[in-house]
């Protein structure tokens, strides 16, 4: 298991069970009973995070037998089983809420992403994820977005250059074209994207030949004009006001 995922699961279990791994109710009503359970969906959804859910069960009790019934990326109906677990009943109860917290969150991300992908309904158009993720959950939530048919944009500030107005204001180094040139010289292997919110800004940016242009909060008609201006050149991304 990835070390970051292991640490995240451990922190989640400590939140629920405390540092001593105690379920007071199960301890008070101690039982040696064994059994099995199936995790079922309450509504139609796109599955994601099943390997994480299984890892939570095993982190609580290595003797639990866990079977993924529906792999990530599957579309399921309300009431369908997605995960089966068997073993000590107390261990299953101790893990239950943490398992569901991971599964519900990640299935929710995948399902909402699927809805946007279906709404776009164009093979040349991709639904990209963002950095607006739950702290500590970024890799999981971005993986869930891919399960929903989305595409990873960038993992963080380290793997792409995105020049926004705040960067230009702080930089004070000159034009947008100069900023793109400077960034390309410093990080020649990284994608360079520039954010614009007017067509005048876009005209200036296109002269700098970035890899991508982010069209921020543009009305549909202005967005169409911007995409046409970029046609045959850089790739375009629309953000803001998309509901």
pLDDT, residue 171, reads 77
Among residues 149, 98, 144, the alpha carbon closest in space to that of 121 is found at 149
Read off the pLDDT of residues 181-232 as tens digits, 9 standing for 90 and up: 999 999 999 999 999 999 999 999 999 999 999 999 999 999 999 999 999 8
Spot the catalytic one: 23, 96, 129, 195: 195
Please give the structure tokens belonging to residue 144: 């869930």
Please give the structure tokens belonging to residue 104: 């519900």
Please give the structure tokens belonging to residue 134: 């739950």
**CB-based contact 116:57 (threshold 8 Å):** no
Q: Catalytic site residue 195?
A: yes
* CATH topology agreement for domains 3-108 and 160-239: no
| Segment holding 88, helix H or strand E | strand 81-88
Q: Which residues pair with 151 in a beta bridge?
A: 128
Spot the catalytic one: 77, 122, 132, 231: 132
Q: Catalytic site residue 164?
A: yes
pLDDT of 31 over the 90 cut: no
Read off the pLDDT of residues 60-70 as tens digits, 9 standing for 90 and up: 999 999 999 99
What is the chain's mean pLDDT, rounded?
Answer: 94
CB-based contacts of 48, cutoff 8 Å, min separation 6: 72, 73, 106, 107, 109, 110, 143, 144, 147, 148
Among residues 228, 227, 193, the alpha carbon closest in space to that of 209 is found at 193
Cα 206 to Cα 160, 165, 203: the distances in Å are 18, 16, 5
Q: What top-level class would CATH report for the domain 3-108?
A: alpha beta
pLDDT, residue 107, reads 98
Spot the catalytic one: 16, 80, 84, 164: 164
Spot the catalytic one: 80, 216, 222, 237: 216
CA distance 60 to 222: 54
User: Which residue do the tokens 């201006």 mark?
Assistant: 229
pLDDT, residue 1, reads 62
Read off the pLDDT of residues 151-178 as tens digits, 9 standing for 90 and up: 999 999 999 999 998 888 887 667 888 8
Read off the pLDDT of residues 73-94 as tens digits, 9 standing for 90 and up: 999 999 999 999 999 999 999 9
CA distance 140 to 102: 9
Q: Catalytic site residue 84?
A: no
Predicted model pTM: 0.91
Q: In which order are the strands placed within the sheet that holds 34-40?
A: 34-40, 81-88, 65-68
| Segment holding 36, helix H or strand E | strand 34-40
Longest dimension (CA), the chain: 72
Spot the catalytic one: 97, 184, 191, 222: 97
CB-based contacts of 209, cutoff 8 Å, min separation 6: 180, 233, 234
Please give the structure tokens belonging to residue 88: 């000590």
pLDDT, residue 2, reads 85
Each domain of the chain, given as residue ranges in start order, spans 3-108, 160-239
User: Which residue do the tokens 């991304």 mark?
Assistant: 237
Q: What top-level class would CATH report for the domain 160-239?
A: alpha beta
């Amino acid at each position: 298991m990835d070390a970051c995922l292991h640490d995240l699961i451990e922190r989640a279990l400590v939140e629920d069970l405390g540092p001593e791994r105690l379920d007071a109710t199960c301890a008070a009503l101690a039982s040696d009973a064994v059994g099995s359970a199936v995790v079922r969906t309450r509504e139609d959804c796109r599955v994601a995070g099943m390997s994480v859910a299984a890892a939570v069960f095993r982190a609580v009790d290595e003797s639990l037998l866990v079977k993924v019934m529906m792999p990530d990326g599957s579309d399921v109906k309300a009431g369908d089983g997605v995960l089966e677990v068997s073993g000590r009943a107390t261990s299953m109860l101790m893990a239950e809420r943490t398992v569901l917290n991971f599964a519900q969150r990640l299935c929710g991300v995948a399902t909402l992403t699927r809805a946007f992908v279906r709404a776009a309904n164009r093979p040349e158009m991709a639904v990209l994820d963002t950095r607006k993720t739950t702290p500590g959950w970024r890799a999981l939530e971005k993986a869930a977005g891919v399960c929903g048919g989305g595409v990873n944009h960038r993992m963080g500030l380290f793997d792409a250059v995105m020049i926004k107005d705040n960067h230009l204001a702080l930089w004070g180094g000159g034009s947008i074209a100069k900023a793109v040139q400077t960034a390309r010289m410093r990080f020649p292997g990284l994608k360079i994207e520039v954010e614009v919110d007017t067509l005048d800004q876009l005209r200036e940016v296109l002269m700098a030949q970035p890899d991508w242009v982010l069209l921020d909060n543009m009305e549909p008609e202005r967005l169409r004009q911007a995409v046409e201006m970029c046609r045959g050149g850089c790739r375009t991304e629309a953000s803001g006001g998309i509901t």
